[in-house]
Amino acid sequence: MALPTSIKLFEMAPRDGLQNEPGTLVPTAIKIELIERLANAGLTHIEAASFVSPKWVPQMGDASEVMHGITRKPGVVYSALTPNLKGLEGALAAGVEEVAVFGAASEAFSQKNINCSIAESLARFEPVLARANDAGIRVRGYVSCVLGCPYEGDISPHKVAEVAKALYEMGCYEISLGDTIGVGTPLAAKRMIEATRQQVPIEHLAAHFHDTYGMALANLYAVMEEGVGVIDAATAGLGGCPYAKGASGNVATEDVLYLLEGLGINTGIDLQAVIDTGIWISQQLGRKPSSKVALAKSTVG
């Protein structure tokens, strides 16, 4: 199948990128500056915060302050994770204009991550969708562990399709399919998409691939060939998941942009500005960006 002619990038660094940062809390001002720099670089969808329990994910404990603190750029959607009604109410009070619920295709991961079964999570999301609908905001849905689980191992593509379908039928406008621990390979990624697109139209599917085994770009190319046109990525390749030990961050935004430029797919995003932002945030965190493109195009290496 031909590759999509346009790709929407969903930037994850402020949320998925920072939620698992070890050590001291990243200052709110740094998070705000990161979000503003990303918007200025041309990213139009930025997952900015997470309204989850601060006991579970301390780095996201200042979600409200972050959302209140950012200067919003017209045309940019600043979204946040909301696992339940409490999170949604916090997000609404902070002026969030799009939220996301997050489930899993693995029972064990669901328990570790959000302390309930898959069925309980779906039941918990129903009132979140209803309230968000009343408030006039869109809800994205995530499915974690679509290509493998740290506790259960292999995950059936049919289980992924089943959970994605439930979220879509509940009203999620887009379903982001997470290779949470980055174990996928291209053929497995294709098979997972083939099964899921039977239940959810391909234009409502997004790829959210972590790069633990260095396969994320290859997997993205494979699912783009299946028609996936939305990609989640984190500048500097920041991140990991608190409930998936050893998992590295999302595929780096810089690397995805370089791939897309090479394919002649224009995103309107300024690659150099993203590289600079990745170097800046990595310096704040005391490390180098994990983006190969950033390292190749700069002197930080």
Residue 241 interacting with ligand HMG (CB under 6 A) = yes
- In the region spanning residues 113 to 132, those forming contacts with ligand HMG, defined by CB under 6 A, are 113-115
Region of 48-56, 149-157, 211-219, 265-273 interacting with ligand HMG (CB under 6 A): 48-56
Residue from 42, 157, 178, 278 touching ligand HMG (CB under 6 A): that is: 178
Indicate the residue among 50 and 235 with the shorter CB distance to ligand HMG: 50
How far from 196 is each of 120, 157, 204, CA to CA, in Å? 21, 7, 11
Largest CA distance in the chain: 50
94 counts as binding ligand HMG under rule CB under 6 A: no
Region binding ligand HMG by CB under 6 A among candidate stretches 51-59, 191-199, 218-226, 272-280: 51-59
Q: Which of 64, 79, 144, 282 forms a contact with ligand HMG (CB under 6 A)?
A: 144
Q: Are strands 77-81 and 45-50 parallel, antiparallel or unpaired?
A: parallel
Is 16 a binding residue for ligand HMG by CB under 6 A? The answer is: yes
Residue of this chain nearest to ligand HMG (CB atom): 178
How many other C-beta atoms can be found within 10 angstroms of the C-beta atom of residue 198? 11
Catalytic site includes residue 241: yes
Name the one range near ligand HMG by CB under 6 A: 29-37, 79-87, 126-134, 154-162.
79-87
For residue 59, state whether it binds ligand HMG (rule: CB under 6 A).
no
Which of 63, 271 has the CB closer to ligand HMG?
A: 63
Binding residues for ligand HMG restricted to 208-237, rule: CB under 6 A? 208
Least distance in angstroms from the C-beta of 100 to ligand HMG: 7
142 binds ligand HMG (CB under 6 A): yes
Nearest by Cα to 181 from 110, 244, 252, 239: 244
Q: Which of 234, 249, 243, 240 is nearest to 56 (CA)?
A: 243
CA 233/CA 257 separation, integer angstroms: 10
Is 180 a binder of ligand HMG (CB under 6 A)? yes
Rg (C-alpha) for the chain, rounded Å, is 17
**Judged by CB under 6 A, how many residues of this single chain contact ligand HMG?**
24
- Smallest distance from ligand HMG to CB 240, Å: 9
Least Å from the CB of residue 74 to ligand HMG: 27
How far is Cα of residue 144 from the mean position of the Cα atoms in its chain?
Answer: 10
Q: How far apart are CA 100 and CA 63, in angstroms?
A: 14
Tell me which residues in 255-284 interact with ligand HMG (CB under 6 A): none
Phi-psi region of 106 (alpha: psi -120 to 50; beta: other; left: phi over 0): beta
6 CB burial (10 A radius; 0-12, 13-18, 19+): exposed
Write out the DSSP string of 119-176.
Answer: HHHHHHHHHHHHHHHHHT-EEEEEEE-TT-BTTTB---HHHHHHHHHHHHHHT-SEEE
Between residues 195 and 233, which has the closer beta carbon with respect to ligand HMG? Answer: 233
Question: Does the protein bind ligand HMG through residue 105 (CB under 6 A)?
Answer: no
CA–CA distance, 25 with 4 (Å, rounded to integer): 39
Which residues are designated catalytic? Answer: 241
Which residues would be at the binding site for ligand HMG (CB under 6 A)? 16, 19, 50-53, 56-57, 81, 83-84, 86-87, 102, 113-115, 142, 144, 178, 180, 208, 241-242
